[in-house]
Chain A
Amino acid sequence: MDWSLVIGNAAAELISPTTAAYALAAVGLAVHFGYTGLLNFGQAAFMAIGAYGFAVSVLYFGLPFWGAVLVSLLASVAFALILGIPTLRLRSDYLAIVTIASAEILRYIVSTTSLASVTGGAGGLSAFAGEFYAMNPFPEGNYLFWPFDVTAKDLWVRVVGWSIVALATLLVFALMRSPWGRVVKGIREDEDAVRSLGKNVYSYKMQSLVFGGALGTLAGIIFILPRSVQPGNYGTGLTFFIWTVMLLGGAATILGPVVGSMVFWVLLSLTDGLLQGLVNQGVITFLTTDQIGPVRFILIGLGLMALVVFRPQGIFGNKKELQFNV
């Protein structure tokens, strides 16, 4: 087994744009669940809105880069409002079912063959990021050092992606120290107490849903910049991965989602590489290389179960800060 390759691949995940996208989506989810206590099981939908909003704006409507980003964000706000109006007044498990259902509705809509001329149907969309890469200030060449060595194009996505993650994290940090943050954390702890102080709980919840959703949408854009848009990526699995990432680091912490995403992807890459090597060398005989994919999901599932039972506050979390009794 080529250890340097396995470890190199795993380490490269630390700064990959996918890790950045998951981190950003998890920051958004932390705003929903960790700080406000909203059970959003539809974060995949916000990411899909980012991906399709951007790609369809560029390819179908011919909008420029910034126009496409703006359209995605507006669509995301509209979606959050549509989602929130009927459900934010209801008990939290209703919100969970409605968000997961909405995410699936969205996925069915973008993959239907009847809209294939716009969304690409089951085949998805590609070749929409030309303008983004044309903005690349880095001249051609190789950058950084092993195992992070990248081309100029790769470096540009990583710089943009991680800058947005950093900005979002700072923004959340500032917000949660502000009066607004204290109110939403109060809603998480005791909705009725906050209501009795004369705060409009419904409106605060809605703002939280819109804000976290917008972060998810930006994450969706970062996610697709280095790849194509595939409708299959936006299933409930994506939402559950984002939840795992968020819970891993700590739902009510500032850096938790970011570190959670790094740990998540490094571990996945390591186990993938190790299993691949062991199967190829004939050490593991009860699996074929095709079956390594499912093993990854089994590990995520077991990790999620263990995490939520034994360490619900995550790596960094404070047990007092996060209570699950929503």
Chain B
Amino acid sequence: MNPLTLSTRGKKGSIRPVAMWLGALAVLFGMLFSAAPASAADEASNPDSTTFSIGGIIKDGETLLEGVQILVTGEAFEETGTTGADGRWSVVVPNKGEYSVALQLETLPEGASLRDEKKATKTVTVDLVNTVNVLFALNDTTSTGEAAGEGSGAPQANVFLGRLIAGLNLGILLAMAAIGLSLIYGTTALNNFAHGEMVTLGALLAFTLNRILGIDLIISAVITMVLVAGSGWLQDAAIWRPLRKRRVGLTQMMIVSIGFSLVVRYVFQIIYGGDTKVLSQGEIWDIFGVPTQAVNVISAGIAVVILLLVALFLTRTRLGKATRAVADNPSLAAATGIDVESIIRIVWVVAGALTGISGVMLGLFVQASWDMGFSILLLLFAAVTLGGLGTAFGAAVGAMVVGLFVELSTLVIPSDLKFAGALIVLILVLLVRPQGILGKAQRIG
């Protein structure tokens, strides 16, 4: 790339392409979702507003359990729900109010057990939302290698394939947020510890729009993407731009981002509470014999397209080239007439959009909670560092490595150590190749 070919561009000229870009993303997003077989999305949209139901999914690790009975009582009403082949159950209740939901332990298949027997009965309130999801935490027997259910076939291969698919899925979703983090690092050299909160914001906004306000999932996702992109612009305008103007050091900015992350995270906790919000729903698809939530498969497909669009944006458009020029050398970029501040603003908006969408999809993948973004923040850092600090494509490659490693490592190590494994890989890579997989070999010490 030759930065000299980039002409001066005013503020007005730079905003329009971004808007077009976001618009294109949104349209594409919508097309892909609606092109998908009548699935997740349809079921996701709110049911008839006069009916209320309590439902959930019972699964043992990745295996969906069929024939498990759940007794719902309360408000002078009693009914038993039974899980179908997709592991889902649902009971339509007559009124808003408080219901007691009891998992019938004796109906659980052989080998499956509740993580905490005391939690077999839960009280739920049907109030704001028409459909209440109830989660029962079962002991995860699948990820340690014993495949329950299915029976026939080669369970070992199946488990491996399941992990592989989950890993690819996680990696591709992490990749979008990691590229956002990497673009911000590339152009401003800021290690943004509050990046995870944009992921959380995406998931929680999608939850609010889709599950509380009952807006269609696709529309919710698009609105969320726009709102999180806006939050990116706002963060830059309210915090980072003034700090850059004050010439505050990078280490100080990093600590500011840590403080900001604390503030935002606990504001989320106050608003949404400390529990996990169920976002994912819809039918289960059979992918090479591995039952996978349809919505996750579609998410991954959309994510691939978005990543390709980002790649095209960075390599083919003038704005993308200008972004890379700024990442390469801000002073030189400024000298060639690139408006560095406006590029940084655009980067925050694009990073916000990417991270917000990643948050929605991760919310559908692992459910939403107030600290979900912070819990994957280090995985994002690992992805960005593995790929080479500040290179967008490296971040995508790093994210795939991290996602695959996290899921595949559970084949050998306990699943509660899977994040630790990914971080150990980060440290080992820094030992042998500190510039990352795609980073330029340069002196960094």
Residues on A facing B (Cβ under 8 Å): 39, 86-87, 89-94, 96-98, 100-102, 104-105, 108-109, 111-114, 236-237, 240, 243, 247, 287, 291, 294-295, 297-298, 300-305, 308-309, 312, 323-326
Contact = CB atoms under 8 A, between A and B. Distances in A.
B444 to A, nearest CB: 5
What 5 A-B pairs come out closest when comparing CB atoms?
A: A301-B262, A304-B259, A301-B263, A305-B259, A108-B420
Which residue among A100, A298, A312 has the maximum number of chain B CB atoms within 10 Å of its CB?
A: A298
Contact of B416 (A90, A97, A108): A108
B30 to A, nearest CB: 36
A240 B248 contact: no
Nearest to B260: A305
B427 A94 contact: no
Given A301-B260, A305-B263, A90 B427 contact: no
Given A108-B416, A309-B243, A86 B378 contact: no
Contact of A105 (B250, B267, B385, B420): B420
B423 interface: yes
B262 A300 contact: yes
A39 B251 contact: yes
Give the interface centre of A291, A295, A308, A324 by most chain B CB atoms within 10 Å: A308
B269 to A, nearest CB: 5
A97 B426 CA distance: 10
A304 B194 CA distance: 14
B431 interface: yes
B424 interface: yes
Contacts of B417: 108-109, 112, 114
Interface residues of B, number: 43
Most buried by A among B263, B382, B431: B263
B224 interface: no
B23 to A, nearest CB: 34
B258 interface: yes
A312 B252 contact: yes
Given A91-B445, A240-B262, A102 B427 contact: yes
A76 B322 CA distance: 47
Contacts of B248: 309
Interface in B267-285: 267, 269-270
B255 interface: yes
A309 B263 contact: no
Nearest to B269: A294
A304 B255 CA distance: 7
Contacts of B416: 108, 111-114
Nearest to B243: A309
Nearest to B262: A301
A312 B266 CA distance: 24
A247 B251 CA distance: 13
A101 B426 contact: yes
Nearest to A299: B263
Given A105-B424, A324-B249, A302 B259 contact: yes
Nearest to A89: B445
A104 B270 contact: no
A97 B427 CA distance: 9
B261 A301 contact: yes
Given A97-B191, A98-B426, 19 more contacts: A86-B427, A86-B430, A94-B434, A101-B426, A104-B378, A105-B424, A108-B419, A113-B414, A114-B417, A240-B259, A287-B270, A298-B267, A298-B270, A304-B256, A304-B259, A305-B259, A305-B260, A309-B252, A324-B249
